[in-house]
Amino acid sequence: MLVGMTYDLRSEYLAQGFSEEEVAEFDSPRTVEGIEDALRKAGHQVERIGSLPSLVSRLAQGERWDLVFNIAEGLGRYGREAQVPALLEYYGVPYTFADPLTLCLTLHKGMAKRVVRDLGLATPDFAVVAEPREAAAVRLPYPLFVKPVAEGTGRGIGAVSKVKGPEDLAQACIELIERYRQPVLVETYLPGREFTVGIVGTGSKARVIGVMEVTLRAGADQDAYTMRNKEECDDLVRYRRVKGSVAGQAGELALAAWRGLECRDAGRVDLRCDAHGQPNFLEVNPLAGLHPEHSDLPILCSLVDYPYQKLIERIVASAWERARNETRPASGLAASVG
């Protein structure tokens, strides 16, 4: 199979003047190399495409692939992760991971939680504060936890994320809205254990491959899995496989959220336990990082003896099975556009 790869390299955006924080979700050369090596070992021919502008150009020149392995995060607001999938859909090119609808929905953590709540699944009570003055109207018991509504990799999460009173909340909302130019998600703070659940597959064929607990070492930012903790995870974070009844509860909740949000192929669901030890849904990552050594999903896979090679092959198999059954635009339409 001819597999194209779409991604956003950090180095390319840094060269354009973006900051380290702005490109924190983007990919390292090691991630691209790791996926490419796994695809070649699986017997596929691989072509690197790169970011959205390169994809636009190559599609316009008439290039096509049997499948695109997409990990591009995109630029902009709630639609950024959906940019590459939407373009590929127009041209009738199959791709890995979720469709534009799910990627837009899950990037907005407040909207995703509304759907999860409607599914009857446990998630902390919350409010979305779009303007600083709205913080005064929040009627949730303290402490609360605040973060930008549509960021990943711990961006916007830090020492001030856990707020203990109205003044702290108001100040945190002012700072986050000013810095990230987007609403703030305000949630009931849960004091229990934090888990991430790895899932492979789509719909009824999706299954949990493992549950991982995230704990913080001395010197780490406390109370949250912040961007600094993620970036310096070798020194600041301890990852541990979880088994037993709590793992079963976490896996059941994560799988229900995964299916309800129509995520596909592979990804992560992040959970945290309440004061009674019951797991609650925090957020889902349907476009999870795939750095072979430093991203959470591959780390989880290493803890449960699920090789990186197998993960990449499972992602491709899931996407290809779906592609064979999907209706695509007529080839003549796509060709005329190209």
**Would you list the DSSP string of 4-34?**
EEE--BHHHHHHTT--TTTTTTSB-HHHHHH
Q: What is the identity of the amino acid at 74?
A: G
Helices (H), ranges, 92-149: 100-107, 109-118
* pLDDT score at 152: 82
More confident residue, 210 or 223: 210
Separation CA 49–CA 56 (nearest Å): 10
Quickly state the pLDDT bin for 61 (edges 50, 70, 90). Answer: very high
Q: Residue range 225-233: average pLDDT? A: 80
Whether the predicted pLDDT of 332 surpasses 70 = no
Cα–Cα nearest to 132, from 187, 169, 165, 77? 169
Contacts of 145 (CB under 8 A, 6+ apart): 124, 161, 162, 163, 186, 187, 188, 189, 190, 224
Q: pLDDT digits over 105-154, tens only?
A: 999 999 999 999 999 999 999 999 999 999 999 999 999 999 999 998 78
Q: What is the pLDDT of residues 156-203, one digit of tens each?
A: 888 778 999 999 999 999 999 999 999 999 999 999 999 999 999 999
Report residue 272: phi and psi, to 5°.
Answer: -145, 145
Mean pLDDT of the chain: 93
Give the pLDDT band of residue 335 (cuts 50, 70, 90): very low
Q: Which among 141, 180, 177, 147 has a CA at the least distance from the CA of 162?
A: 147
Q: Which tokens in the block code for residue 168?
A: 């702290």
pLDDT of 338 strictly over 50:
no
Average pLDDT of the residues in 78-95? 97
User: Helix, strand or coil for residue 128?
Assistant: strand
pLDDT tier, 208 (very low <50, low <70, confident <90, very high otherwise): very high
| Per-residue tokens: 230 | 């993620």
- If we measure between CA atoms, which residue out of 121, 112, 154 comes closest to residue 250? 121
Pair of tokens at residue 77: 């607001």
Edge-to-edge order in the sheet of strand 279-285? 237-241, 207-216, 194-200, 266-273, 279-285
Say if CB 208 and CB 255 are below 8 A apart.
yes
**Pick from 49, 13, 46: nearest CA to 28:** 13
Residues facing 208 on adjacent strands: 199
Q: Report which of 139, 109, 128 is spatially closest to residue 186, judged by C-alpha positions.
A: 128
pLDDT band at 268 (very low <50, low <70, confident <90, very high): very high
